[in-house]
Amino acid sequence: MTTLGDLGEFGLIDRLSRLLPSAPTVVEGIGDDCAVLRLFDRLMLISCDMVVETIHFRREYATPEDIGWKAATAALSDIAAMGGTPLFVLVALAMPGMCEIHCIEGIYRGLADAVSQVGAVIVGGDTTRTPGYLTIDVTVVGEAIGDRYVARRGARLGDLLCVAGRLGMASAGLHSLEQGEPQPELVRVHNRPTALITQGQWLGACPGVRAMIDVSDGLVQDAGHIAKAANLGVDIDPARIPIDPALEEYCRKAGLDARRFALTGGEDYALAFAIAPGAYEVCLTNFRREFRTEITVVGEFTSAWKGVRVAGHPADRGGFDHFR
Amino acid sequence: MTTLGDLGEFGLIDRLSRLLPSAPTVVEGIGDDCAVLRLFDRLMLISCDMVVETIHFRREYATPEDIGWKAATAALSDIAAMGGTPLFVLVALAMPGMCEIHCIEGIYRGLADAVSQVGAVIVGGDTTRTPGYLTIDVTVVGEAIGDRYVARRGARLGDLLCVAGRLGMASAGLHSLEQGEPQPELVRVHNRPTALITQGQWLGACPGVRAMIDVSDGLVQDAGHIAKAANLGVDIDPARIPIDPALEEYCRKAGLDARRFALTGGEDYALAFAIAPGAYEVCLTNFRREFRTEITVVGEFTSAWKGVRVAGHPADRGGFDHFR
């Protein structure tokens, strides 16, 4: 018998997507961050993200507010990766019966804060008890701006792989918690990541941006998704990956490789995108003017191979696969 | 410390809804079966329903296909209760790591069957592993027909409480499974309930239908929700409740009270609604012509008390509260 452990999350999604019928109103279906749907002659975006205690969070490492905030951010970030605007949020919560109400209310406060921050609103959901672990599923409905969105597929040969936002800080924050020596600046990114909604919208409108994804599972894995969707390979140059000074310092003191966190650590919710080489300079300049932060070129798409290489060497599976 | 067990599901929802902000685009928010949202100048409906192994289903009582079918039906039924049309479905699944892939595929087949049956389509979702129990959250997006929908609130003094569909069969089916003497006709209703989408749409367009809910937690509890939302009481006449012959026979043989199943058993996904007394006759006649099944008057809304009475006696909490 094949188990989920054998197949992995992405193997499962491949199998399921072959099982399920589609429809003409489904513009982008299973296989992207977010579904794109034709509704009332416009483009609606919808995505959900489910987190489970002990797999995605631990109550000893995060406050209830942090847990709610992060669960919302994970789902909102999928809308950011399409260049869309989040509007409405549903929250389904499965709770152990002995959960204290102040914990549940804290989770909802964190959810509501993250959702309000981006101008969206929680409109409903479901609650149930569970004999298992606290489980939160957040569904976000959004809209595409002017019927334009950026899919995961769309990268072309020779496109540059770019990153907006931080890499590796969230996973280093978790590492510091697990070591019992929490590094506040990194822990904050781990517990309170930001969905780059405005940046995503800006990039979605930027000429030459052809494919985008949010870095939830690590750059190697998520850049691999863009490459796979385009039937291309990608080469990541680790020397070009931006390393935050706090991450650098933590790794230096602990004798760890900052670049490894930046390559494989998930949950910073940076945006990785493919851009036409000729469009890059203008995009960088204008992005810097708009957001006072950098976009960094970290690699290039190629037809010379499939999958991800780091400095030319095939990357072993370095991301976070939920079943392995 | 207050726990969920102390507060109950509906106490929790009351507290949470006070915590969460709303917005002008939210036409109906937390507290109905389904949120009603203004999107692109039309009315969108959205609802989710989460089920957890051992709480809502057991693998020894149902096939994977049954589990998927029923999870989808529970969510679709919320759209039926608004008189709407389901369009798009997201599925989030938390799975124990050792789950066999054929079980997961069976669940998705069941989900897809129930969703296709009503003309909707699965467009995405999320998958994760869990150290706990199989958990499925189904989100349905729908549209209101011609900007008309029927909310849970809206019943008026003197309105009749009516039911379309079966009552008590699903819970009797579960009872027969638990007794080790499965009664096939009842087990079928338990495992393969139908979301009354067409009937809900028809009732939503029927003059005089003022409030509607799907009977997921039992007639006593769900009629109580309609009454509470209207700040009224309701008197249920148990003698008028329709009892299916299969339910009657099962209870006669087992020495059980069929009316108790019909009053308090959930998950048949019948529709309970409030109708103006003057509109009832025409509605009944036309519904019978359209669907070849009956609508039954089972009670009346009153201002003489709050809450639910059965044959004039205050009903003890007879429904299914997920936390108690």
pLDDT digits (tens, 9 = 90+) for B280-295: 999 999 999 999 999 9
How many C-beta atoms surround the C-beta of residue B205 within 10 A? 13
The whole-angstrom distance between B106's CA and the closest CA on chain A is 10
CB contact under 8 A, B128 and A50: yes
Question: Which helix (H) or strand (E) is B200 found in, with range?
Answer: helix B197-205
- The pLDDT of residue B320 is 43
Looking at residue A15, its pLDDT comes to 85
Statement: residue A175 has pLDDT above 60: yes
CA B110 to chain centre: 18
Could you tell me which residues are beta bridge partners of residue B45? B36, B142
pLDDT of A17 above 90 = no
Do the beta carbons of residue A226 and residue A161 sit within 8 Å? Answer: yes
Question: In whole angstroms, what is the distance from residue A64 CA to residue A53 CA?
Answer: 11
Alpha-carbon B159 to chain mean position: 21
Residue A252, both tokens: 């230096």
* ipTM metric: 0.94
Residue A49 CA to residue A317 CA, distance in Å, equals 22
Its sign, for the CA torsion B209, B214, B220, B223, is: negative
Task: State the pairing for strand pair A121-130/A85-96.
Answer: parallel
Distances (CA, A) of B276 to A223, B65, B156, B264, B283: 60, 40, 8, 25, 10
Give CA–CA dist B39/A195, Å, rounded: 22
Best of B9, B17, B89, B137 to mutate (most A CBs within 10 Å, chain A): B137
Q: Which of A99, A109, A143 sits opposite B19 (nearest CB)?
A: A109
Closest partner residue to B133 (CB to CB) among A32, A90, A132 is A132
Q: Read out DSSP for B156-181?
A: -TTPEEEEES--SHHHHHHHHHHTT-
Measured distance CA(B225)–CA(B4) in Å, rounded:
20
For the four alpha carbons of B252, B257, B263 and B264, in that order, the dihedral sign comes to negative
Give the rounded percent of residues in chain A with a pLDDT score beyond 70: 97
Whether A280 shows a pLDDT value over 70: the answer reads yes
Q: Which of A14-28, A57-71, A211-225, B208-222 is the least confident region?
A: A14-28
User: What pLDDT is attached to residue A32?
Assistant: 81
pLDDT band at A239 (very low <50, low <70, confident <90, very high): very high
User: Mapping DSSP to helix (H, G, I), strand (E, B) and coil, where does residue A308 land?
Assistant: strand
- Nearest-CA residue of chain A relative to B12? A101
Q: Which residue of B has its CA nearest to A95?
A: B4
Q: Which residues of A touch B37 (CB under 8 A)?
A: 87-88, 123, 141
Give the pLDDT band (50/70/90) at residue B324. Answer: very low
Alpha-carbon distance B190 to nearest alpha carbon in chain A (angstroms): 19
Nearest to B130 among A25, A32, A52 (CB): A52
In this prediction, residue A30 carries a pLDDT of 86
Q: How confident is the model at residue B317 (pLDDT cuts 50, 70, 90)?
A: low
Q: Please name the residue that has the structure tokens 């003890």.
A: B316
Nearest CA in chain A to B16: A105
**B303, B157 in Cβ contact below 8 A?**
yes
Does A92 contact B87 at a Cβ distance shorter than 8 Å? no
The tokens for B242 are 């329709």
Which residues on chain A are in Cβ contact (under 8 Å) with B15? 101, 105
Question: What's the average model confidence in pLDDT over A216-228?
Answer: 96
Question: Phi and psi for B139 in degrees, rounded to 5?
Answer: -110, 130
In this prediction, residues A156-174 reach a mean pLDDT of 97
pLDDT band at B322; cut points 50, 70, 90: very low
Q: Residue A125: pLDDT above 70?
A: yes
Partners of B22 on chain A (C-beta within 8 Å) are: 121
Distance between CA atoms of residues B218 and B139, nearest Å: 22
| Optimal mutation site among B78, B113, B139, B152, interface A, most CBs of chain A within 10 A | B139
Which alpha helices (H) appear in A90-230, and where do they start and end?
101-117, 169-178, 184-191, 197-205, 219-229
Closest alpha carbon within chain A to B75: A126
CB contact under 8 A, B121 and A323: no
**Over the Cα atoms of chain B, what is R_g?**
19
- Which residue of chain B is at minimal alpha-carbon distance from A26? B123
Chain B residue numbers with beta carbons less than 8 Å from the beta carbon of A144 are: none
Task: Give me the total of CB pairs closer than 8 Å, taking one residue from chain A and one from chain B.
Answer: 277
The answer to whether B241 and B263 are in contact (CB under 8 A) is yes
Write the DSSP string, A12-49: HHHHHHHHS---TTEEE-BTBSSEEEEETTEEEEEEEE
Q: Can you tell me the distance from the alpha carbon of A32 to that of A30, in angstroms, rounded to the nearest whole number?
A: 6
Whether A2 shows a pLDDT value over 50: the answer reads yes
Smallest Cβ–Cβ distance between B322 and the set A37, A52, A129 belongs to A129
Instruction: For residue B84, report the phi and psi dihedrals to the nearest 5 degrees.
Output: -100, 180
Encoded tokens for B196: 């009354």
Over residues B56-61, the mean pLDDT reads 96
Task: Name the minimum distance, in Å, from the CA of A59 to any CA of chain B.
Answer: 15
Residues of A in contact with B100 (CB under 8 A): 1-3
Candidate from A92-101, B58-67, B275-284 with smallest mean pLDDT: A92-101
What Å distances lie between residue B4 and A105, A106, A154, B54, CA to CA? 11, 14, 47, 18
* DSSP H or E run through B27: strand B26-28
Give B323's pLDDT tier (boundaries 50, 70, 90): very low
Q: What is the pLDDT of residue A100?
A: 86
**CB atoms A5 and B108 under 8 Å:** no
**Mean pLDDT lowest among A122-131, A217-226, B98-107, B224-233:** B98-107
* C-alpha to C-alpha distance for B266 and B221, rounded to whole angstroms: 9
Cβ-defined contact of B46 to A9 (cutoff 8 Å): no
Q: Residues 6 or more apart from A101 whose CB is under 8 A from it?
A: B1, B2, B3, B4, B6, B7, B12, B15
User: Rounded to 5 degrees, what angle do the CA atoms A151, A190, A105 make?
Assistant: 95
| Lowest-confidence region among B1-5, B165-169, B235-239 | B1-5
Q: Do A42 and B40 touch (CB under 8 A)?
A: yes
Average pLDDT of span B214-226: 96
Stretch A158-179: mean pLDDT: 97
Nearest to A128 among B42, B52, B104 (CB): B52
Q: What is the pLDDT of residue B223?
A: 97
Distance, CA of A290 to CA of B117 (rounded, Å): 49
CB contact under 8 A, A21 and B50: no
For residues A278-289, average pLDDT:
96
Contact B123, B92 (CB under 8 A): no
pLDDT for A276: 98
Return the higher-pLDDT residue of A97 and B213: B213
User: Which residue in B271, B275, B270 sits closest to B160, CA to CA?
Assistant: B275
Instruction: Choose the most confident range, by mean pLDDT, from A21-30, A70-79, B97-106.
Output: A70-79
For residue A316, pLDDT beyond 70: no
Lowest mean pLDDT among A91-100, B18-27, B31-40, B309-318: B309-318
pLDDT of residue B319: 44
By Cβ distance, the residue of B48, B50, B100 closest to A1 is: B100
CA atoms of B219 and B242, how far apart (whole Å): 12
Cβ distance A132 to B52 less than 8 Å, yes or no, reads yes
Asked if residue A310 lies in contact with residue A167, where contact means CB atoms within 8 angstroms, the answer is no
Q: What is the pLDDT of residues B83-126, one digit of tens each?
A: 999 999 999 999 997 788 899 999 999 999 999 999 999 999 99
Query: Over 70: is that where the pLDDT of A314 sits?
Result: yes
Report chain A residues whose CB lies below 8 A from the CB of B105: 15-16, 19
Nearest Cα neighbor of A276 from A150, A159, A156 is A159
For chain A, helix, strand, coil in percent to 5 are: 40, 30, 35
Largest distance between two CA atoms of chain A:
58
**B7–A90 C-beta distance less than 8 A:** no
Structure tokens at A191: 């517990």
Cβ contact, residue pair A94, B135, below 8 Å: yes
